Structure 1
Amino acid sequence: MLKFSAALFFVVLSYAAQAQTWEIGGALGGAGYIGDLNASPFKPSGSSAGLFVKRNFNGYLSARLNFQSGKIAGADSTSSGEQQRNRNLSFTDGLKELSLMAEFNFMKYIPDAGKNKYTPYIYLGIGTTAFAPRTMYNGSEISLRTLRTEGQASEYKTSTIVIPYGAGIKYNIAGKWTVAAELGYRYTRSDFLDDVSGFYAPHNQLPNQLSVALADRSGERTGVYTGSPGSQRGNLRPKDIYAFFGFTLSYTFVTAKCYYEE
């Protein structure tokens, strides 16, 4: 997937000689995730916001540098399954993503100049996302990474490579202003956005008593702690996925007369 994304960027950049416009904009919407505390389907769990700058090579192809932040969350207490409710884990995570995307319009789209007022589009890219899962315990918010709740030899990384992919539809609302509705998923290289991945660890592999308390929280609900060493803690899927969705508003600067259509 990474090789495919890189190849796509080379194709897009080959159009640089035809480049005509810059575009800047912002995004507001929501965020959600699919992982060990929400196996499926995708559920919104927080808000998101972002800024982007885009180089439009022609009416079809663009390169977009995108910064977006959002909050994802999950709680077993809201699950429809009794086993998950008894597990009783929960988390929140503030994500900060920086990505570069190739965007393709299905119809030639030039704000305030082209004949098409709207177009569907798709995008694919590569980026990096910083994450920091936390949970509430005894009325305090606790950072989970340093607790190594599954007995990891070392803390998992503070960021992960992501592959953003998605689709949307954009519309020229007035002059050079464009509004778009967009849904985009992010395939990640981490299974710890929610601090849950594999199996319960023996207590002697955990760094401290707080780690022991937050590794197995089943007893807080049932009075009986069921997370025996070696038993399944996560859903055993290899990676977590998250998504941003919402609306963007942007302004396009036309920089060459040849960009306009007769």
Structure 2
Amino acid sequence: MKTIKILRIQTLIICLLILFSSNAQTYKSNSWSANLYLGASNMMGDLGGSNFIGSRGVFDYDFRATRLAVGTGINMNTGAFSLGLNLLFTRLAGNDEYSAQDFQVDRNLCVRTDLFEASFLTEYRPFSRTKGFNRFYVYTGIGGIYYQPKTKLNDDWIKLRTLGTEGQYFDDGPGPYSELDVVIPYGLGYKFRLAKSTSLILDLGFRKTFTDYLDDVSTVYVDPVLLASSNGIESPILSNRSNTPKVIGDERGNPDKDDMYFLLGLKFEYILGGKAGDGCYYNRNPPKTRSTKINQRKMFTR
């Protein structure tokens, strides 16, 4: 399954590069832009959220778990496409206290996850030649994240990965989950031109991950005695904070759904070279069409 996912990701990267490369060759000059990002993030995982157990996309959204997100990026723009490198930091959150479902309220878990993201994105403006709509864009790409789930105990924030709260460090356990993961970013946005070289951008983005441990919750409850002897006394305390007794093997999370998160924010963009145009990056040397060549011949024959 992991191999199939990797192959799909590699195929996506190749397709995006081919699309961008073929478009870039059509134009003789490109423009560069830099941006600063300020927005909000929300995690859709096993904790808190709506009335679902496990992530159900945007339907698992809970406003109280919204946190700040900041970032920066640089883009090479050509024609209707642009290729960019972006960096982002956010602190995701999840809390069973926010849920309306009895199962989650009783489970009584909470988490905050510091997350760093680096991504390569390809933007496409499908209406680049239509005035009034040429500022709209969609995007996708490939990225990587480093994340660190923590929870609160006696006013201290404790790293959860090293505690193996679901038996990851048992002799026959699955092993610890990685702090690194691949993400597939996708989304859409709209550019509001402020001046010749500056724009304000409204951006909505989603991040598909390949881990179910952004919130450190995925499978079942394990033996607390074995957990304490294997990982220390804090591990069983933070693994099971329920108000009712749990049996080994009882459901703790939903391993069938990977976690995801989404972002909504504003970008301030500055054009480093070229002309901002009307939300698109008009090229100073557009390709000559047949009609253009005919008109040029007429001018020289007069």
Q: What is the TM-score with the length of structure 1 in the denominator?
A: 0.89
Distance 1:54 1:99 in 2: 12
1:129 corresponds to 2:129 = no
**Aligned length, in residue pairs:** 250
Among 187, 197, 218, which residue is 1:197 paired with? 218
Percent identical among aligned pairs is 30
CA distance 1:237–1:91, change in 2 (3 Å): same
Tell me the SS of whatever aligns to 1:53: strand
Q: 175-184 or 10-19, which moves further after superposition? A: 10-19
Among 28, 47, 61, which residue is 2:38 paired with? 28
Q: Which residue of 1 aligns with 2:240?
A: 216
8 Å Cα contact 2:182/2:210 also seen in 1? yes
Q: Which residue of 2 aligns with 1:103?
A: 123
Tell me the SS of whatever aligns to 2:90: strand
8 Å Cα contact 2:126/2:134 also seen in 1? no
Tell me the SS of whatever aligns to 1:142: strand
Tell me the SS of whatever aligns to 1:123: strand
Map 1:170-185 → 2, pairs under 5 A: 170-185=191-206
Among 214, 224, 231, which residue is 1:207 paired with? 231
Q: Which residue of 2 aligns with 1:81?
A: 101
Q: Which residue of 2 aligns with 1:258?
A: 285
8 Å Cα contact 1:20/1:259 also seen in 2? no
Looking at secondary structure, tell me which structure has more strand per residue. Answer: 1
8 Å Cα contact 2:212/2:255 also seen in 1? no
Tell me the SS of whatever aligns to 1:106: coil
1:14 corresponds to 2:22 = yes
Distance 1:142 1:107 in 2: 49
Q: What is the TM-score with the length of structure 2 in the denominator?
A: 0.78
Distance 2:245 2:68 in 1: 34
Among 70, 76, 92, which residue is 1:55 paired with? 76
Structure 1 residue runs without a partner (length 5+): none
Looking at secondary structure, tell me which structure has more helix per residue. Answer: 2
Tell me the SS of whatever aligns to 1:231: coil
Distance 1:142 1:9 in 2: 41
CA distance 1:68–1:249, change in 2 (3 Å): same
Among 105, 122, 135, which residue is 1:119 paired with? 135
Kindly name which structure, 1 or 2, has the bigger radius of gyration based on alpha carbons. 2
Q: Which residue of 2 aligns with 1:42?
A: 61
Distance 1:82 1:54 in 2: 47
